[in-house]
Amino acid sequence: MELNGADIVVRCLAEQGVDHVFGYPGGAVLYIYDAIYKQDNFKHILVRHEQAAVHAADAYSRSSDKVGVALVTSGPGLTNAVTGIATAYMDSIPMVILSGQVPSHAIGEDAFQECDTVGITRPCVKHNFLVRDVKDLAETMRRAFYIAKTGRPGPVLVDIPKDITVATCKYTPPRGEVKMRSYAPVVKGHQGQIKKAVQMLLSAERPMIYSGGGVVLSDASAELRQLVELVGAPCTNTLMGLGAFPASDDKFVGMPGMHGTYEANMAMQHCDVLIAVGARFDDRVIGNPKHFAQNPRKIIHIDIDPSSISKRVRVDVPIVGNVKDVLQEFNALYAQAAVDTPPNKSALGKWWEQVNSWRGKQCLVYENSDTLIKPQFVVEKLWEITHGEAFVTSDVGQHQMWAAQYYRFDEPRRWINSGGLGTMGVGLPYAMGVQMANPDSQIAVITGEASIQMNIQELSTCKQYHLTPKVLCLNNRYLGMVRQWQEIEYGSRYSESYVDALPDFVKLVESYGHIGMRIDKPSDVEPAIREAFTKYKDRLVFMDFITDQTENVWPMVKTGKGLTEMLLGSEDL
């Protein structure tokens, strides 16, 4: 059949099983929007800013294991979306971004609302395409989805000139799977390397399991849990891996890194065999690589991306492959080998004695108050009231770290935050994407008074589509993490970190048609959260918690320091 390019785009989205597209119209994509108007295979969500469209599509993917889709127009529509694209790229989130472009004949002539989309986005996408012929459009769309979700996932952009959306050609339905000779990611791990790693782990006296976002992205939580039970070792989840192994399990030692627990960091540094599963030894996890390398240990690294292996830390046994596939084979071989070569239970018992002695530091204990709301207390109450089952999105800053430390995630894909890029403003649009993918779930946004204002216009989107997240604003009237660093590293010179012109959030939220609450007493914290999740279950509720301005996130590893050089509180300054 003959179809124009816009209709082909819509057909391809339906082929891929897309349920929701987040976008904002403009001149270059009006033919596509006209085609969307005439179909009922998926729902379009009109955001109020293109950045929010990409963030919402990003969270839709993170919370559902589907490919998120965003649609923006040319020029400023695309440049507004770049922050969201870079955010997804840093965290390896499978997405397809469709951008309009000026007509083909005008490309390179500085036409109205033209920009070099391919050039601008090249550093922050897994791949991008500029469609030059309508006959290539359907295959390009299919390749975009295939590339986004296979191998190490990531955002893929398809730039479509306006004349391509109106041009017609014969449309051919897909036949079989997409095949690309130049792109063939490894899925299965090398069996010899897996066997070598199994023997290394069996010989360990102080084994440690370090898991990251790759476990979540490959849906390998069950396999990770089996590995931990087989080995009997302590397990730590990175910020992106929280929930992959349940926080309620005794073998979980908390998050590692700059604001990780004392026991996780000490165990990472003092183990004799470390198995890294879908994690990349980034700077916020291991601190100074030279310090990390001071203690001799053997390292096994499982990752889908060969470029991530030995990038920052030299490893002894690299295993390239999809985490889920590799762990399935690894666990089976380990269980068989353990019959003939049992692990050293005596040494493992002594190792756990050491780990538990580190736990005795109780590094996350804080001093509560009857007069000032402590931010940690708010997160703990949220966890209690939601029974640890909510989807929690966060913005970036102190509140993000408190959420990671005090909301104890037992399931993967429940913790939605910007890890690699650290993007302020993601919390509310993330909640929109999560609710579209999980309409019957409890959804909480943990944010700060600065972050929430970066995309607060999306309260309008929430009103239009009856989205009902519960927003917990930990309002300390500062750019909190900036203030903390200025206190510790810059002699308490609080340069431009004080927010002294805040809106009345209650009135602002109510002007959008939602429920607003201001809470300034610790005794009112629990009643407010309970009321939000019960009485106002079907409304968006914004809770403005006026918190202690002086509270800092502990533990903390300062820049350039090693994992064991933690500050556990202000007394260590």
Which one from 66, 126, 149, 162 is the annotated catalytic residue?
A: 162
Which position has the token pair 């068989």?
Answer: 336
Contact status, residue 232 vs residue 348, Cβ threshold 8 Å: yes
Place of tokens 């986004």: 148
Identify any residues that bridge with 235 across adjacent strands, giving them in sequence order.
Answer: 209, 252
Residue 7 carries which side chain, given as an amino acid letter? Answer: D
Cα separation, 555 vs 420, in Å, equals 20
Query: Tokens 């889908």 sit at which residue?
Result: 304
Phi then psi for residue 45, to 5 deg, are: -110, 115
Would you call 16 helix, strand, or coil by DSSP?
Answer: coil
**Catalytic-role residue among 15, 42, 113, 531:** 113
Q: Is 481 a catalytic residue?
A: yes
Cβ-proximal residues to 490 (8 Å cutoff; 6+ apart), any chain:
none
What is the DSSP code (8-state) at residue 183?
Answer: B
Secondary structure (DSSP) of 516-532: EEEE-SGGGHHHHHHHH
| Distance of alpha carbon 13 from alpha carbon 66, whole angstroms | 12
Tell me the H-state helices in 438-524. Answer: 459-464, 480-489, 505-511
Residues 6+ apart with CB under 8 A from 43: 19, 20, 21
Burial (CB < 10 A; 0-12, 13-18, 19+), residue 439, is exposed
Q: Are 225 and 410 in contact (CB under 8 A)?
A: no
> Is 113 one of the catalytic residues?
yes
Between the two ends of the chain, the Cα-to-Cα distance in Å is 72
- The owner of tokens 């002699």 is 491
Q: Give the closest residue to 155 by CA, choosing from 43, 62, 68, 80.
A: 68
Q: Is 50 a catalytic residue?
A: yes
Catalytic residue among 16, 22, 50, 542: 50
In sequence order, the β-bridge partners of residue 208 are 274
Per annotation, catalytic residue among 90, 268, 432, 481: 481
Give me the residues paired with residue 59 across strands.
none
- Please provide residue 512's backbone torsions phi and psi, each rounded to the nearest 5 degrees: -85, -5
Q: How far apart are CA 564 and CA 572, in angstroms?
A: 13
CA gap 385, 387 in Å, rounded: 5
| Angle (CA) 309 403 556, round 5° | 65
Q: Are 83 and 99 in contact (CB under 8 A)?
A: no
Contact 563, 265 (CB under 8 A): yes
Q: By the 8 A CB rule, do 92 and 213 touch?
A: yes
DSSP string, 86-129: HHHHHTT--EEEEEEE--GGGTTTT-TT---HHHHHGGGSSEEE
Within 13 Å of residue 434, how many CA atoms lie on the same side as its CB? 26
Active site residue 195: no
Q: Diameter of the chain by CA atoms?
A: 74
Q: Under DSSP, is residue 46 helix (H, G, I), strand (E, B) or coil?
A: strand
Active site residues: 50, 112-113, 162, 481
